[in-house]
């Protein structure tokens, strides 16, 4: 105010200050209690109106012309002489309540109290402004409103905001606040778009309080140019730190959906659901909407429409601005889900604990549903860790009456227990079963939902043909999955029993040659090796990596293109080695010779147009996950360029760099680091890797029988019809080439019923096919 430093010196004693305060309040109480002091010219005007009928026709502003005010005692008395013009203190228009009181006093006559002033047609108004409006003393801003409406039809929001400010400045807007509240959404039309662009979230819906605050900021800036403030027009102040109103970025991303599009998708798919899908849909929706938070497992073999159902539920909930987290156990399955990711990356399992107060914790708190596809192949510890984390975040106790699995969130897991179970390194049957979700305490809370009808191949003529023992191809595939396929030779115990493969599906062996299966699967290779559709639809599957490498080399050698070899750089991880002796114990040549599942080879031999498979989830949102198949389109020195062959990102070209891959195994006292392109040829792949891939032509090569639950089922269910499937069996033990071992842990199916939430489990789960 003074534009200066001011030094204040207190130059007397404290006693004086005490005296000062005593003095100013001296006698104050008696003043307050004196009724005469409470009287003012205005209160006495009210009194006058009560007693003098003539005064009642004169407004307060004019009363001095007819009456004079006496001070002792305070009262108005009729004027006997003189001519006086009344005057009420000036108040700037349109801002405070006093202004409206003043307006009433200049116009209304006969009021006997403040309440009386505020009463219009027997109705007590909420304030003086309201009373002015009801009495029609204020213009109703119709014209200003009409002007905004008119410009709103063709003008940009920037123009509208300028117009709004012009109206405030020059058009005597009677109720600026009402004009603002009625129109701010129109004035904010572009701000929603601007916010989306700034955040790079195309469909994000900024909260209304954020947009309202942003409009106010723009209006404030415009008013400043005229040396005015929002307060001059009784307008609210913006929230200064409005970015806070936008909230958690992770949450925003999960709300970034075109609501109309989601609604249309949901309605469109819902109309086509079959009765089992509808039943499952209503179950899950009821759990989400009522907040009871059940744990469901959607059980159905391949093609029964699990993904189709997830899509319907997810779209419906997203159209209602609910958060749904969609994950799968494998990267490949995740790419088929709407904005899916892998469970491990989404929930940071098992390394990090999700801490309260973090963005991820808030996202989980606000999540309505978690969908987890291919759940049977994930270790139960992952689900148990997730359940505990959610209990912690949602403040749900881990035991007792109030315990709820997954903290009371609705969980929809899905998958097929006939497929591969969690891989436990070095573990056998019992260890694998122990790792299954079915053996988790969580399973007793599970509600099973069933899908039986194969929506993928039901109407295919080829598949209604009996291929074997009175069974169609789909029935035989399911029989393999359930461990009920017809047995050919029993062996000494169930473990050694062999099932018979229909003659129709057998390729006659030619010694130990792999030629027959290559010729079947890659028939026409020399003409078609550059064809995308040829490569994406065929592969040989086999139980072990060793065989995969042999087949890949054999097929590659037939391709008439130049060979390019990439050598990895292998080393021991320095953090993991305590002793430099390890370097001499495990020389580089030894490290180079190591070959592990999931690790690219030291000597990676490639050719142009060869099909390759990614071995790491290097960029899942861009479709680059563990299991993605590509065709090589360029072999550079530092990058390999490829065209994605399958999934949502089919046809996209990507560049893959060398990356550092760490690897350790129990039997080695070190962690190895291999710098190599994270890829491997995939004319052939292991059966485990083939889960999730759909092929038109698949060769199942069994130099040795399968060794783990679900492998044979996964191998035979890669194709849509028997036409595309052939076996080449080299049984080393001399058993004939028409039978092989089928490993199925049937006790798992019995244990499924422990969920306690199904009745006729066995009749429901086992399809009707001849035994
Ligand atoms: N109710 C339905 N009406 C029409 N088509 C459907 C229906 N349900 C599923 N489908 C179609 O059937 C095919 C298989 O469905 P989907 O991929 O959802 O099955 P899935 O159980 O997820 O299979 P997988 O386990 O092999 O991934 C898809 O092409 C899907 O579009």
Q: What is the DSSP letter of 603?
A: E
pLDDT value of residue 583: 66
Q: Whose CA is nearest to atom 14 of ligand 1?
A: 303
Average pLDDT, the chain: 85
Nearest atom in ligand 1 to the alpha carbon of residue 300 is 21
What does the pLDDT look like over 644-657, one tens digit per residue? 998 778 899 999 98
Q: Whose CA is nearest to atom 2 of ligand 1?
A: 273
Q: Which residue's structure tokens are 């940009």?
A: 156
Q: Does the pLDDT value for residue 176 go beyond 60?
A: yes
Q: Whose CA is nearest to atom 3 of ligand 1?
A: 272
Q: Given ligand 1 and candidates 273, 275, 281, 307, which is best to mutate, with the most ligand atoms within 8 Å of its CB?
A: 307
Question: How remote is the CA of residue 522 from the centroid of ligand 1, in Å?
Answer: 28
Q: Does the pLDDT value for residue 552 go beyond 70?
A: yes
pLDDT value of residue 277: 95
Q: What is the reported pTM?
A: 0.69
Q: Which residue's structure tokens are 């069933």?
A: 450
Domain boundaries, the chain: 24-123, 141-246, 259-451, 560-682
Q: Which residue, among 416, 391, 382, has the nearest Cα to 302 in the 3D structure? A: 416
> b/e string for 162-195 if b means 16 or more Cβ within 10 A?
bbbbebbeeeebbbbebbbeebbebbbeebbeeb
pLDDT value of residue 11: 63
CA distance linking residue 721 with residue 408, whole number of Å: 42
Question: How remote is the CA of residue 303 from the centroid of ligand 1, in Å?
Answer: 5
- Dihedral sign (CA 115, 117, 122, 124): negative
CB 297 within 8 A of CB 447: yes
CA distance linking residue 701 with residue 555, whole number of Å: 14
CA distance linking residue 309 with residue 317, whole number of Å: 12
Cα angle, residue 393 at apex, residues 392 and 399 outer, rounded to 5°:
30
CA distance linking residue 710 with residue 690, whole number of Å: 12
pLDDT value of residue 394: 92
Question: How remote is the CA of residue 309 from the centroid of ligand 1, in Å?
Answer: 8
Percent of the chain with pLDDT over 70: 90
Q: Does the pLDDT value for residue 580 go beyond 70?
A: no
Half-sphere exposure of residue 332: CA atoms within 13 angstroms, side-chain side: 19
Q: Is 310 helix (H, G, I), strand (E, B) or coil?
A: helix
Tell me the C-alpha to C-alpha distance, in Å, between residue 5 and each of 1, 11, 585. Answer: 10, 19, 79
Burial class (CB in 10 A: 0-12, 13-18, 19+), 636: exposed
Q: Given ligand 1 and candidates 303, 310, 450, 454, which is best to mutate, with the most ligand atoms within 8 Å of its CB?
A: 303
What does the pLDDT look like over 519-533, one tens digit per residue? 999 999 999 999 999
Helix (H) / strand (E) containing 432: helix 429-434
CA distance linking residue 77 with residue 70, whole number of Å: 7
pLDDT value of residue 351: 47
- DSSP string covering 158-202, please? HHHHHHHHHHHHHS--S-HHHHHHHHHHHHTHHHHHHHHHHHT-T
Q: Does the pLDDT value for residue 459 go beyond 70?
A: no
Q: Whose CA is nearest to atom 9 of ligand 1?
A: 305
Q: Which residue's structure tokens are 């889900």?
A: 337
Across 185-201, average pLDDT: 88
Q: Which residues pair with 78 in a beta bridge?
A: 67
Question: How remote is the CA of residue 620 from the centroid of ligand 1, in Å?
Answer: 22
* The pairing of beta strand 367-373 with beta strand 410-415: parallel
What does the pLDDT look like over 671-725, one tens digit per residue? 888 989 999 999 999 998 888 788 899 999 999 899 899 999 999 998 888 889 9
CA distance linking residue 520 with residue 615, whole number of Å: 27
Question: Residue 641 has which token pair?
Answer: 């360029």
pLDDT value of residue 762: 40
Nearest atom in ligand 1 to the alpha carbon of residue 717 is 26
- DSSP string covering 522-535, please? TTTHHHHTT-HHHH
Q: Given ligand 1 and candidates 455, 646, 691, which is best to mutate, with the most ligand atoms within 8 Å of its CB?
A: 455
Q: Does the pLDDT value for residue 490 go beyond 70?
A: no
Q: Does the pLDDT value for residue 639 go beyond 60?
A: yes
pLDDT value of residue 341: 76
Question: How remote is the CA of residue 453 from the centroid of ligand 1, in Å?
Answer: 10
CA distance linking residue 666 with residue 660, whole number of Å: 20
Q: Whose CA is nearest to atom 8 of ligand 1?
A: 305
Across 540-556, average pLDDT: 94
Across 31-41, average pLDDT: 83
pLDDT value of residue 768: 37
pLDDT value of residue 548: 94
Q: Does the pLDDT value for residue 185 go beyond 80?
A: yes
Question: How remote is the CA of residue 473 from the centroid of ligand 1, in Å?
Answer: 18
HEC profile of 672-684: EEEEECCEEECCE
Q: Which residue, among 108, 245, 95, has the nearest Cα to 177 in the 3D structure? A: 95
Question: How remote is the CA of residue 302 from the centroid of ligand 1, in Å?
Answer: 8
Nearest atom in ligand 1 to the alpha carbon of residue 304 is 21
What does the pLDDT look like over 245-290, one tens digit per residue? 777 788 888 888 889 999 999 999 999 999 999 999 999 999 999 9
Nearest atom in ligand 1 to the alpha carbon of residue 415 is 25
* The pairing of beta strand 538-542 with beta strand 697-702: parallel
CB 277 within 8 A of CB 308: yes
Across 613-637, average pLDDT: 88
Question: Residue 163 has which token pair?
Answer: 């117009």
Q: Whose CA is nearest to atom 27 of ligand 1?
A: 302
The residues lining ligand 1, judged by C-beta closer than 6 Å to any ligand atom, are: 272-274, 277, 300, 302-308, 455-456
Q: What is the DSSP letter of 621?
A: G
Q: What is the DSSP letter of 110?
A: -
Q: In 10 A of CB 244, how many CB atoms? A: 9
Nearest atom in ligand 1 to the alpha carbon of residue 308 is 18
Q: Given ligand 1 and candidates 337, 376, 456, 460, which is best to mutate, with the most ligand atoms within 8 Å of its CB?
A: 456
Across 6-16, average pLDDT: 71
What does the pLDDT look like over 81-126, one tens digit per residue? 777 777 777 665 555 688 788 889 988 999 999 999 999 999 999 9
What does the pLDDT look like over 408-453, one tens digit per residue? 999 999 999 999 999 888 788 999 999 999 999 999 899 999 898 8
Question: How remote is the CA of residue 691 from the centroid of ligand 1, in Å?
Answer: 16
CA distance linking residue 346 with residue 348, whole number of Å: 6
pLDDT value of residue 480: 92
Q: Does the pLDDT value for residue 566 go beyond 60?
A: yes
Question: Residue 635 has which token pair?
Answer: 């072999």
Nearest atom in ligand 1 to the alpha carbon of residue 277 is 1
- Dihedral sign (CA 664, 665, 670, 674): negative
Q: In 10 A of CB 16, how many CB atoms? A: 10
Q: Whose CA is nearest to atom 25 of ligand 1?
A: 302
Q: Whose CA is nearest to atom 6 of ligand 1?
A: 455
Question: How remote is the CA of residue 719 from the centroid of ligand 1, in Å?
Answer: 14
Q: Which residue's structure tokens are 């390890």?
A: 582
Question: How remote is the CA of residue 322 from the centroid of ligand 1, in Å?
Answer: 24
ipTM given for this complex: 0.98
Half-sphere exposure of residue 346: CA atoms within 13 angstroms, side-chain side: 26
CA distance linking residue 631 with residue 651, whole number of Å: 10
What does the pLDDT look like over 377-411, one tens digit per residue? 999 999 999 999 999 999 999 888 889 999 999 99
pLDDT value of residue 252: 83
Question: How remote is the CA of residue 437 from the centroid of ligand 1, in Å?
Answer: 24
- DSSP string covering 692-742, please? T--BSEEEEEESS---STTHHHHHHTTBSSGGGEEEEE--TTS--TTEEE-
Across 457-478, average pLDDT: 73
Tell me the C-alpha to C-alpha distance, in Å, between residue 695 and each of 310, 716, 737. Answer: 23, 10, 24
Q: Does the pLDDT value for residue 575 go beyond 70?
A: no
Q: Which residue, among 715, 668, 709, 685, has the nearest Cα to 424 in the 3D structure? A: 709
Q: Given ligand 1 and candidates 276, 302, 305, 460, which is best to mutate, with the most ligand atoms within 8 Å of its CB?
A: 305
pLDDT value of residue 765: 44
pLDDT value of residue 324: 95
CA dihedral (383, 389, 394, 400) in degrees, to 10, reads: 70
- Residues whose CB is less than 8 angstroms from the CB of residue 535 and which lie 6 or more positions away in sequence, other chains included: 529, 609, 611, 629, 631, 645
Greater model confidence, 202 or 242: 202
Question: How remote is the CA of residue 746 from the centroid of ligand 1, in Å?
Answer: 26
pLDDT value of residue 567: 92
pLDDT value of residue 98: 84
CB 604 within 8 A of CB 568: yes
pLDDT value of residue 282: 96
pLDDT value of residue 458: 47
Question: How remote is the CA of residue 88 from the centroid of ligand 1, in Å?
Answer: 81
Percent of the chain with pLDDT over 90: 44
CB 474 within 8 A of CB 454: yes
Q: Whose CA is nearest to atom 15 of ligand 1?
A: 305
Question: How remote is the CA of residue 480 from the centroid of ligand 1, in Å?
Answer: 21
Domain 259-451: which CATH number of 3.40.50.1100, 3.40.50.300, 3.40.50.2300, 3.30.230.10: 3.40.50.300
Question: How remote is the CA of residue 457 from the centroid of ligand 1, in Å?
Answer: 9
Where do runs of H (alpha helix) occur along 530-625? 532-536, 545-556, 581-585, 588-593
CA distance linking residue 63 with residue 552, whole number of Å: 108
Nearest atom in ligand 1 to the alpha carbon of residue 309 is 18
Q: Is 306 helix (H, G, I), strand (E, B) or coil?
A: helix
Question: How remote is the CA of residue 310 from the centroid of ligand 1, in Å?
Answer: 10
Greater model confidence, 148 or 496: 148
Question: How remote is the CA of residue 500 from the centroid of ligand 1, in Å?
Answer: 30
pLDDT confidence of 769, banded at 50, 70, 90? very low
pLDDT value of residue 687: 93
CA distance linking residue 62 with residue 54, whole number of Å: 13
């Amino acid at each position: 105010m003074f534009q200066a430093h001011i030094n204040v010196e207190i130059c007397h004693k404290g006693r004086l200050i005490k005296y000062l305060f005593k003095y100013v309040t001296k006698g104050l109480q008696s003043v307050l209690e004196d009724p005469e002091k409470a009287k003012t010219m205005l209160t006495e005007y009210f009194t006058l109106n009560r007693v003098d009928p003539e005064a009642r026709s004169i407004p307060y502003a004019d009363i001095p012309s007819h009456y004079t005010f006496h001070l002792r005692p305070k009262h108005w008395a009729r004027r006997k002489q003189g001519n006086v013009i009344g005057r009420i203190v000036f108040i700037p228009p349109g801002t405070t309540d006093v202004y409206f009181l003043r307006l009433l006093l200049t116009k209304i006559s006969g009021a006997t109290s403040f309440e009386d002033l505020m009463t219009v047609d027997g109705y007590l108004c909420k304030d003086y402004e309201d009373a002015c409006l009801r009495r029609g003393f204020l213009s109703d801003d119709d014209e200003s409103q009409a002007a905004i409406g008119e410009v709103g039809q063709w003008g940009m929001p920037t123009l509208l905001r300028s117009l709004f400010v012009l109206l405030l400045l020059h058009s005597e807007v009677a109720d600026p606040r009402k004009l603002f509240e009625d129109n701010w959404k129109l004035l904010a039309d572009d701000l929603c778009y601007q916010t989306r662009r700034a955040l790079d979230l195309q469909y994000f819906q900024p909260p209304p309080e954020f947009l309202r605050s942003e409009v106010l900021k723009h209006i404030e800036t415009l008013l400043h140019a005229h040396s005015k403030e929002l307060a001059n027009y009784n307008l609210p102040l913006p929230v200064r730190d409005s970015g806070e109103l936008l909230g958690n970025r992770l949450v925003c991303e999960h709300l970034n959906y075109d609501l109309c599009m989601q609604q249309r998708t949901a309605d469109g798919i819902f109309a086509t659901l079959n009765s089992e899908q509808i039943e499952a849909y209503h179950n899950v929706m009821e759990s989400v909407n009522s907040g009871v938070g059940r744990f469901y497992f959607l059980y159905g073999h391949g093609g029964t429409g699990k993904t189709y159902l997830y899509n319907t539920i997810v779209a419906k909930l997203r159209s209602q601005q609910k958060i749904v987290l969609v994950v799968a156990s494998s990267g490949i399955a995740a790419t088929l889900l709407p904005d899916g990711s892998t469970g491990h990356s989404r929930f940071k399992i098992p390394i990090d604990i999700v801490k309260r107060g973090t963005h991820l914790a808030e996202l989980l708190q606000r999540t309505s549903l978690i969908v987890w596809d291919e759940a049977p192949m994930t270790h139960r510890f992952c689900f148990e860790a997730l359940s505990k984390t959610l209990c912690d975040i949602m403040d749900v106790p881990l035991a007792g009456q109030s315990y709820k699995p997954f903290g009371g969130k609705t969980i929809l897991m899905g998958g097929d227990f006939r497929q591969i179970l969690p891989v436990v390194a070095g573990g056998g049957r019992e260890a694998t079963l122990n790792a299954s979700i079915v053996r988790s305490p969580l399973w007793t809370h599970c509600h099973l939902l069933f899908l039986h009808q194969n929506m993928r191949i039901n109407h295919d003529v080829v598949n209604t043909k009996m291929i074997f023992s009175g069974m169609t191809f789909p029935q035989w595939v399911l029989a393999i999955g359930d461990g009920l396929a017809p047995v050919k030779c029993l062996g000494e115990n169930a473990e050694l029993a062999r099932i018979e493969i229909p003659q129709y599906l057998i390729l006659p062996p030619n010694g130990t040659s792999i030629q027959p299966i290559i010729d079947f699967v890659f028939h026409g290779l020399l003409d078609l090796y550059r064809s995308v559709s040829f490569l994406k639809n065929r592969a040989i599957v086999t139980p072990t990596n060793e065989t995969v490498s042999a087949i890949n080399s054999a097929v590659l050698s037939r391709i008439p293109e130049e060979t390019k070899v990439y050598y990895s750089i292998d080393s021991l991880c320095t953090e993991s080695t305590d002793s430099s002796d390890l370097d001499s114990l495990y020389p580089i040549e030894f490290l180079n010779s190591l070959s592990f599942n999931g690790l690219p080879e030291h000597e990676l031999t490639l050719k142009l147009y060869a099909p390759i498979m990614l071995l790491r989830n290097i960029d899942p949102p861009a479709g680059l996950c563990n299991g993605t198949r590509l065709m090589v389109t360029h072999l550079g020195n530092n990058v390999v360029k490829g065209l994605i062959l399958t999934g949502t990102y089919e046809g996209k070209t990507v560049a893959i760099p060398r990356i550092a891959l760490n690897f350790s195994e129990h039997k080695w006292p070190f962690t190895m680091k291999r710098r190599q392109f994270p890829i491997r040829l995939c004319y052939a792949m292991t059966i485990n890797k083939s889960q999730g891939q759909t092929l038109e032509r698949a060769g199942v090569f069994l130099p040795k029988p399968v060794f783990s639950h679900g492998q044979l089922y996964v191998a035979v269910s890669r194709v849509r019809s028997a036409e595309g499937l052939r076996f080449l069996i080299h049984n080393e033990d001399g058993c004939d080439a028409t039978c092989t071992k089928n490993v199925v842990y049937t006790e798992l199916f019995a244990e499924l019923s422990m969920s306690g939430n199904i009745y006729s489990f066995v009749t429901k789960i086992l399809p009707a096919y001849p035994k």
